[in-house]
Amino acid sequence: MLLTDAQRREFDDRGYLFLPELFSAREVAVMRAALPGIVARRGPEIVREKDGKALRTAFAAHTYDDTFAKVARHPRIVGPARQLLGGEIYIHQFKVNGKAAFDGDVWQWHQDYGVWQRDDDMPEARGMNLAVFLDEVTPLNGPLLFIPGSHKRGVYAAGHDVETTSYPLWTIDHETIGRLADEGGIVAPTGPAGSGLFFHCNLVHGSPSNMTPWGRTIVYISANRTDNAIRRFQRPAYIAHRDFTAVAPLADDCLLRTGDAAA
């Protein structure tokens, strides 16, 4: 899969690109069928909300689940990532983020590259996120919030918040967020399960808590250029991966095949 010139310009200008129905209902069903095993897993790679029960993040699911291993190498993920980053890519981070009904907590305002630079010593902002909705995301059930154009000014100052949620994060102060929002506004891309959402690693974003009875789960693949590999290894390998091998895409129908997918 390749993006059009218009889509690439939209990504460069706004910092994100929304593609409804990137994956079919059948493909989403295959991905959703893998979730119970992920949620039931016990280990440090599984982060739960403060209640100790609801899933917040399952890191590195592509290393222990065959379905998500295919998602990480899917051509509808790898192709656009190569285009937008201008070179071969590896998987810096892979996670399944839950926003459980009633219990899904906030993700504070932040930039992903701000985290990757400070914690992992990623040299340049040559990374991006490619997300797939596994549930319908509405304005009510904790959608991602973006400040369009905020990726164009580099890395903002941030503080290390280790108290607000169960997962520490480098967060941006309220004054800066207010100024950026006054200039660029705030948007919440929403859509059906199977939608794709690609965004720049410097785009300022966050998400509110989910008070509704409708949960939402999103898969995130953080791609980085192979010539921009991280140089600090203080975080566990299941959070910041050490394998910098270029990703080779699988066949487009890999999620609908049984067993190993052919390249």
> What string of H, E and C letters represents the secondary structure of 155-168?
CCCCEEECCCCCCC
- Tokens 């504070």: give the residue: 108
Q: Give the total number of structural domains in the chain.
A: 1
Is residue 259 a part of any domain in this protein? no
Is residue 93 a part of any domain in this protein? yes
Is residue 186 a part of any domain in this protein? yes
Q: What is the largest CA-CA distance in the chain?
A: 51
Q: Which residues contact 112 (CB under 8 A, 6 or more apart)?
A: 127, 129, 201, 202, 222
Note the pLDDT of residue 262: 45
- pLDDT tens-digit profile, the chain (263 residues): 899 999 999 999 999 999 999 999 999 999 999 999 999 999 999 998 888 888 889 999 999 999 999 999 999 999 999 999 999 999 999 999 998 888 888 878 999 999 999 999 999 999 999 999 999 999 999 999 999 999 998 999 888 766 666 567 788 999 999 999 999 999 999 999 999 999 999 999 999 989 999 999 999 999 999 999 999 999 999 999 999 999 999 999 999 987 654 44
Note the pLDDT of residue 263: 45
Is residue 253 a part of any domain in this protein? no
b vs e for 215-243, b when ≥16 Cβ sit within 10 Å of the residue's Cβ?
Answer: bbbbbbbbbbbbebbbeeeeeeebbbbee
Is residue 255 a part of any domain in this protein? no
Is residue 175 a part of any domain in this protein? yes
Note the pLDDT of residue 244: 98
Q: Which residues contact 197 (CB under 8 A, 6 or more apart)?
A: 16, 17, 18, 19, 130, 131, 132, 133, 144, 189, 218
Is residue 260 a part of any domain in this protein? no
pTM assigned to the model: 0.92
Give the CATH number, domain containing residue 233.
2.60.120.620
Is residue 217 a part of any domain in this protein? yes
For residue 20, what are the domain limits?
5-246
Contact, 222 vs 129, CB < 8 A?
yes
